[in-house]
Each structure stands twice: as C-alpha cells, then as structure tokens.
Structure 1
Amino acid sequence: MQTNSKIRPLAVTAMLSAVGCILMMLDFPIPMLIPSFVKMDLSELPALLASFSLGPVYGIVVCLVKNVLAAIFHGSTLGIGEVCNFAMGAMFVGVAGLIYKHNKTRKTAIIASLIGSVAMAVFSVPVNFFFSYPVYAAAFGGMDAIIAAYQEINPNVTSLLSCLILFNLPFTLVKGLLSSVVCFLIYKPLSPILHGKK
C-alpha cells in the first residue's frame, strides 16, 4: 500500500508531463496581437493540475519534464524557449500551489490561480529582458529586428522594455488565466485520476 502511494504521484506526474509536452507542441501564434515568434499554448495546464492535486513541487517537476521533452522532440530555439518556459511556468504553478496548499477550497484555488498568473506575467519581463531576448538577439539577427517586429503592430514602442511591458506581460497574464479557467473546468472530472480515488 505504501509503495502504491509513492508510485501513484510519480505516475500522475509522468502522465501530466507528457500531456504538457504535447500541448507545448500545439502552440500557435496570434500575429494581430503579438509578434508571431511569441506563441500561445496551454502547456502550463497539466502542471497546474499537478500543483493543486499533488503539491507545488510536483507542478514544478511537470514544468521541468515537459520542457526537457519538448526540447528533445520539438526544440527550435536552441533550448532558450524551453528554459524560459520552465522558469515562468514554475513561477506560476509554484505560487498557485503554495497558496492552495494551505487552504484547499475552491475560492482559494481561484485566488491562487489569479496570483500565480500575475506573478508569471510580471516575472516574464525580467526573464525575457535579461535572458531570452538578448540570447535570441545574439543568435538570430540582433535586437533591432526583434523590436521592429513589435513596431509592426504598435509603432510607438521604441525599446525592448516597452515591448515586454505592453505586449508580453498582458499576453503571459492571459495565458495563465486561460490555463486556470480550463483547470477549473476539468479538475473535478479528473479528480479520481489525480487523487487515485475510484
């Protein structure tokens, strides 16, 4: 019985990591709202399910494993995108899971998801500003080309920081909120699988 209680969380984590990897591969651009190299996906959804059902550490592990799998099977950014996706996803599900862990109610889950989404959105600015975009610029044609892609949507942006605040921050917030909404819709039907209850 004790062995089963240890195996079940690992099995659920592996399953959710695989689903997260698949969802990450199903990303899609929204070119009218943000440059096409920034893509929408719901790959944090399985990690949020893990964080709520098993705990924040498991949610972060799902973020890590699904990004490792995505880098192996779908990588097109030299690992840069996967590293940043992990950092932001871990912030999202880690914060949400920690808040929910101390008071497991539906209201707390909603509050936790909102705070986690905001934390991820805010965290996306320094992650992109100090890491991902400088690396992208060095590898793929310079910072001016990146800023120019944003200026095609809004000519008023003149710096990387303004691009990230006006575009990436709200985009990442919406991404977190969408994952949260879907999580609430499917959590109860999936609860027997996630918690190992018949």
Structure 2
Amino acid sequence: MPACRTARRKGESDMTDYGKLLEAVKSNVTFILVSILIVVCVYFIAKGLEKLIEAKCGMHFNSEKTKVNRLVVIAMFSAISAILMFFEFPLWFAPAFYELDFSEVPALVGAFMFGPTAGVAIEGLKVLIKIALKGTTTMFVGDLANFIVGCAMVVPASAFYFTKKTRKSALIGLITGGLCMVIAGSLMNGFYLLPKFAELYGMPIEALVAMGTKVNASINSVFTLVALAVVPFNILKSIVVGAITLILYKYISNLIKGQHAVNK
C-alpha cells in the first residue's frame, strides 16, 4: 500500500509538471506568434506609408538604382545599432530593466535615407544581431519592446520627413515620432509587455511594480509604473535620440538628399 501511494503521488507530480510544461510552451508559442504579428503589421504600416508618399511626391523608395546601396546601408546601420545596444545606461527614475541606449539613431538616419521600411528593417535586424551576440535577459520581451518603441518613432518620423525633406520637416517628424514612441511604449507596456514579462518569468506582476517602488515610492501599481517610469523614460529617449539625429543631419544632409535625387 505505501508503495502504491508513493507511485500515485509520483504520477500526480509528473502530471503536474507536464501540465506546467504545456502551459509554459503555450505561453511562449503565443508570445512568438504575437511578436511575429506585430512585426508584420509594423512592416505593412511602413510599406503603406511609402506607397502614399510615392503617390504624392512621385518618388520611388525601392528603385533598381538604389537597391544595392539600400542593402549595404541597412546592413551597416543594423550592425552599428546592435553595437549601440551594448551600451545601456540606467536611469534614476526607472527600474533596472529600463535602460537607455542610442540604437535608434542609425535607424532614423537610415530611414531618412531610404524610407520607413528601411528603418523597420534596421530595427528588426539590430535586435536579431544583439540576440545572436548577447542573448536575452528578458525572455525576449525587452527585445520586442525595443523593436516596437523604436519603430513607433522611426516610421512616423521618416514618413513625415519625406513629405518635404527639409530640416524643419525632420524636426517635426522627430517630434511626431517621439510622441508616437511615448504612446506606443505606454500602451504596450501597460497592457501587454509587463504582464507578459511577469507571466514568462512566473512571477506576480506586483514584483515588477515593487522594483519600481524601490526607485520611486509613488509607484504602487502598473498604472503608476507606466506613468512615472515608462512615460518619462520614452520622453527622455525620444529627446536625446532626436537631438543626436538632428545634429547628425547637418553633416549627412547632402548624402541623404543625394540619395533622394537618385530615388526620383
């Protein structure tokens, strides 16, 4: 009888472990599918904006003349962006899992040269390169977040820039992109990324909130974590990245405009 009870308990334990394994697989598969869907949607949004710009301005983003240059620049800027992701800086008002980097700068420059889809490609490739070289410490949630908020700035900024292709339109585009970054980052963190991060790590979301409380006692919920950490984080990032891009624009504007002349 004791042997039977032991066997029964072992069987129940195995079933529990099997159930946990299935649940973990289900969660990861769902996350992967959602990530792929987000990437596809972002690409088609960027592609749609390019089509609108082509119809309005009479230019072509993917002409045969620029195909090789486009691929070279995307590859080069993706590598530079990936390297920049290794240099992350913690911020005093946000938990440790929010760190500032400048990897959006090459993506913005590339998007100003070749259009929104080039920016999306750079954003996606930089994340893949970074994962290949460094791996992930966030179960890929942070990597997806980086892609989303990066594209949220790069796509509208470059699309707006191409309507006039002047320093002023670049500035307005960067401001618009920064606002989109803040909105997208806030909504995605609050409703999907933070809950998914907690789920994949098997921890209560309150644990993430507690990490925010350590740096700011006013953070006591997901809402306040987003409002007092995510929002200012993305505002600061958009300002810094936008300022660097504008400074670089002064030196590379001739290169960008020369590329646009070839596109026509």
Q: TM-score under structure 1 normalisation?
A: 0.91
Q: Residue 127 of structure 1: CA displacement?
A: 0.9
Q: Residue 68 of structure 1: CA displacement?
A: 1.2
Q: Name the residue aligned to 1:187.
A: 249
Distance 1:17 1:188 in 2: 21
Distance 2:222 2:232 in 1: 15
Q: Residue 96 of structure 1: CA displacement?
A: 0.4
Distance 2:112 2:66 in 1: 17
Q: Residue 4 of structure 1: CA displacement?
A: 5.4
Segments ≥4 residues shifted beyond 3 Å: 190-197
Q: Name the residue aligned to 2:112.
A: 52
Whether 2:96 is the aligned partner of 1:36: answer yes
Range with greater deviation from structure 2 (12-21 or 64-73): 64-73
Amino acid at match of 1:70: K
Range with greater deviation from structure 2 (2-11 or 188-197): 188-197
CA RMSD of the aligned region, Å? Answer: 1.8
Whether 2:179 is the aligned partner of 1:107: answer no
Q: Name the residue aligned to 2:199.
A: 138
Q: Name the residue aligned to 2:186.
A: 125
Distance 1:94 1:193 in 2: 20
- 2:142 pairs, out of 74, 81, 85, with 81
What aligned pairs does 1:162-177 form with structure 2 within 5 A after superposition? 162-177=224-239
**Is contact 2:123-2:147 (8 Å) kept?**
yes
- SS of the equivalent of 1:102 reads helix
Change (3 A) 1:192 1:106: closer
Q: Name the residue aligned to 2:55.
A: none
Q: Name the residue aligned to 2:214.
A: 152
How many residue pairs were aligned? 195
- 2:87 pairs, out of 4, 26, 31, with 26
Q: Residue 107 of structure 1: CA displacement?
A: 0.8
Q: Structure 2 unaligned segments of length 5 or more: list them.
A: 1-62
Larger Rg: 2
Whether 2:154 is the aligned partner of 1:93: answer yes
Amino acid at match of 1:170: P
Range with greater deviation from structure 2 (164-173 or 39-48): 164-173
**Is contact 2:152-2:177 (8 Å) kept?**
yes
Deviations 1:20-48 (A, max 9, x none): 10111111212x22111110001111111
Whether 2:122 is the aligned partner of 1:62: answer yes
Taking only the aligned residue pairs, the percentage that are identical comes to 29
**Is contact 2:139-2:200 (8 Å) kept?**
no
Distance 1:72 1:78 in 2: 14
Change (3 A) 1:193 1:102: closer
- SS of the equivalent of 1:152 reads helix
Amino acid at match of 2:129: L
